[in-house]
Structure 1
Amino acid sequence: MPPNNHTYYDHMHSTTNILPLNPIVIVIVSVVSLVLILSVFLIIVMLRRLKSVGKRGSCKESGGGIQNTSCIGFNSSPDVKANCLYGGSMRKPATSRHRGVQVFTYRELELATDNFSEANVIGNGGSSVVYKGVLVDGTVAAVKRLHRDRKHGERAFRMEVDLLSRLNSPYLVELFGYCADQHHRLLIFEFMPNGTLQQHLHHPGSEYRPLDWGSRLRIALDCARALEFLHEHATPTVIHRDFKCTNVLLGQHLRAKVSDFGLATMGSDKINGQISTRVPRSTGFIAPEYASTGRLTTKSDVYSYGVVLLQLLTGRVPVDTKRPPGEHVLVSWALPRLTNRDKVEEMVDPAIQGQYSKKDLIQVAAIAAMCVQPEADYRPLMVDVVQSLIPIVKNFNSVNSPGFSRFNRRSTSPKYQQYVGKLQS
């Protein structure tokens, strides 16, 4: 039976309308699928890259303590987790000012110091011995060997490596490298040929001559700049906590640099603006509020600086029980005399032999008086101390030059002017 022409025609017409749409659908589906595949691929690549960066950048102390911005690797120390100073992933040490912080083996340092010969000892403290050494490239260095049985030795070692590997200031001693080989803990510093301020002030002899007035002024300014850097420019703020004459090293031309950051504390540890810490055993240079409560701020460093400034001025040690009653503690003896012009001159170290300007002496006495105030709030900031010392040092250096009058002695502190006024009246 022949097909119904009308039905057959309708079928053909319907087929003709549908068939041309199939290639378009296929193309659209293909393009969408390709875009989705590429998107998924790009997302996977980006996630892997972010994960890799996150691993390299994370280096934290176990227990949620200090975050270390420069993860220092320990190649041979079995008691440091994951070959990193504070745990986490291994990362290249932060670059120092000149050569970068290097990792030394114990054998290298044995060779550098002639097997830690007694003849090479240049310093001996309660927690370490310092040796003069010659590195393999001929560089003369100071090798600080920490005692193994010190309870706080590991913390001090880590703090010095962490801080000095990333702090950049010409007023801080430079860290060349460190050794954490098995149980050995050593630090390698730049060699300072003129010893410590302690040796010059309190142990002068054939090796160290007494400091003249100009050298004392420059040393005072260098130390003030060092503490100003730690308090104002380091991130986070660093409180040295152990600033004293034995930790002031003298280089060429008696330029001073601050050393020994084993007891330093970073501002990230602050509790309500203060820090709760273990008080050092040394006495005489510690701020009263720090000694009594164990809490400190940057003003605690200011007090310690004031004690060192008094030592530069008088040549006396912070505590001397051999002196007459009333003169045992330097600050207690000096503070009431710092605002009396005649008594200030009597306080001056005889080793200076009167070779100083009385006006400069009055300025320095006023600064010292402010720094050793019993109440922390009355002490200046180190930035103010620096600004007070700069014109005094410039005045000394150019007192015979025609441009002398252009230096304006001033201080940002009204209390400073008050002390100067008392002394000049």
Structure 2
Amino acid sequence: MEDTGSEFSLYDFSQIADATDNFSPGKILGQGGFGPVYKGIFPDGQEVAIKKLAARSRQGLVEFKNEIQLVAKLQHRHLVRLLGCCIHDEEKILIYEYMSNKSLDYFIFDPNRRTSLNWMIRLKIVEGIAQGLLYLHEHSRLRIIHRDLKASNILLDSELNPKISDFGMARIFPSDATQTKTSRLVGTYGYMAPEYAFEGLLSIKSDVFSFGVLLLEIISGKRSAGFQHYGEGEFHNLLQYIYKVTPTVKFM
């Protein structure tokens, strides 16, 4: 392992292979658009999460570069810490701090596991996500829009503290701009703000909308996308249902 002079390090491929038992299927924590994520253990006992770029993934390569350029410059207790990377021939790998309680969706959408998240814990999770998002939008060296804030991208540590992860789709936003227009839409259906999904208008409000959807999921335990409720009518997502059952509020 080579230290680059900060907390970000360059790792040897052999070290990563040893830590994951040569990328054993039994070490896989999950699978994302970028590629598989493995649990690794270094000789000193340090546990890490190792994200391996899927072979021949052009989109993954873009996200790989984006994460290195952005996350290595960000430091906040509610953002997952990028420890380093490994580039070996065609292999491209990112190494993150290990989060022992997986992701928020693992708990919140499971009827049994979500009982361990009482209202005080859920409030702590919501506050932590909000603090991390505020840092990205207002207090970091770069003003960043995440663009894919969702339950599976909120990781939980051993004390159920939340950390925002997966910055492959994040975008640096000019500090003097209020919004911009893009023809390349990225993100997840059910979390996208309408003006972004339909018109390509992007701003920090896009993340705030996603945060609002996430808040509803944390409260209800229901997924936004694919939610169905049958009663007076059929609602195809959680937002439609909430809009229908919430009394109209008039502001003076």
TM-score calculated relative to the size of structure 1: 0.55
1:291 alignment partner AA: A
Find the partner of 2:126 among 204, 220, 225.
220
* TM-aligned CA distance change 1:270 to 1:232, over 3 Å: closer
Q: Following TM superposition, where does structure 1 have runs of at least 4 consecutive aligned residues deviating by more than 6 angstroms?
A: 269-272
- Matches for 1:201-216 after TM superposition, within 5 Å: 201-203=108-110, 205=112, 210-216=116-122
CA distance in 1, matches of 2:147, 2:5: 24
- SS in structure 2 at match of 1:138: coil
* Matching residue of 1:301: 207
- SS in structure 2 at match of 1:282: coil
* Matching residue of 1:335: 243
CA distance in 2, matches of 1:151, 1:209: 40
Is residue 146 of structure 2 the alignment partner of residue 240 of structure 1?
yes
CA distance in 2, matches of 1:119, 1:328: 36
CA distance in 2, matches of 1:278, 1:234: 25
2:38 alignment partner AA: Y
Is residue 39 of structure 2 the alignment partner of residue 139 of structure 1?
no
- Matches for 1:86-235 after TM superposition, within 5 Å: 93=4, 95=6, 100-203=7-110, 205=112, 210-235=116-141
- SS in structure 2 at match of 1:188: strand
* Matching residue of 2:225: 319
Kindly indicate whether the alpha-carbon contact (under 8 Å) linking 2:4 and 2:10 is maintained by their aligned counterparts in 1.
no
Q: More displaced, 141-150 or 268-277?
A: 268-277
Greater share of helix residues, 1 or 2? 1
1:323 Cα shift? Answer: 3.9
* Matching residue of 1:389: none
2:217 alignment partner AA: Q
- SS in structure 2 at match of 1:127: coil
1:128 Cα shift? Answer: 1.4
- SS in structure 1 at match of 2:73: coil
5+ residue gaps, structure 2: none
1:178 alignment partner AA: C
CA distance in 2, matches of 1:264, 1:270: 18
CA distance in 2, matches of 1:154, 1:260: 14
1:176 Cα shift? Answer: 1.0
CA distance in 2, matches of 1:180, 1:199: 31
Kindly indicate whether the alpha-carbon contact (under 8 Å) linking 1:94 and 1:166 is maintained by their aligned counterparts in 2.
no
CA distance in 2, matches of 1:165, 1:289: 30
* Matching residue of 2:173: 267
Deviations 1:113-168 (A, max 9, x none): 01111111111123211111102332100111121222211121111112221111
* TM-aligned CA distance change 1:277 to 1:178, over 3 Å: farther
Deviations 1:262-294 (A, max 9, x none): 000001498773152522252001000110122
* Matching residue of 1:256: 162
CA distance in 1, matches of 2:227, 2:137: 33
TM-score calculated relative to the size of structure 2: 0.90
How many equivalent residue pairs?
249
Greater share of strand residues, 1 or 2? 2
* Matching residue of 1:422: none
1:235 Cα shift? Answer: 2.4
1:171 Cα shift? Answer: 0.6
> Of the two structures, which has the highest relative contact order with CA contacts closer than 8 Å and spacing of 6 or more?
2
- SS in structure 1 at match of 2:240: helix
Kindly indicate whether the alpha-carbon contact (under 8 Å) linking 1:242 and 1:263 is maintained by their aligned counterparts in 2.
yes
CA distance in 2, matches of 1:134, 1:209: 30
Kindly indicate whether the alpha-carbon contact (under 8 Å) linking 2:143 and 2:173 is maintained by their aligned counterparts in 1.
yes
* TM-aligned CA distance change 1:126 to 1:256, over 3 Å: same
* TM-aligned CA distance change 1:257 to 1:278, over 3 Å: same
Q: Which has the larger radius of gyration?
A: 1
Q: More displaced, 180-189 or 298-307?
A: 180-189
CA distance in 1, matches of 2:167, 2:107: 22
1:205 Cα shift? Answer: 4.8
Kindly indicate whether the alpha-carbon contact (under 8 Å) linking 2:102 and 2:156 is maintained by their aligned counterparts in 1.
yes
Kindly indicate whether the alpha-carbon contact (under 8 Å) linking 1:192 and 1:249 is maintained by their aligned counterparts in 2.
yes
Kindly indicate whether the alpha-carbon contact (under 8 Å) linking 1:269 and 1:275 is maintained by their aligned counterparts in 2.
no
CA distance in 1, matches of 2:158, 2:245: 34
CA distance in 1, matches of 2:115, 2:227: 25
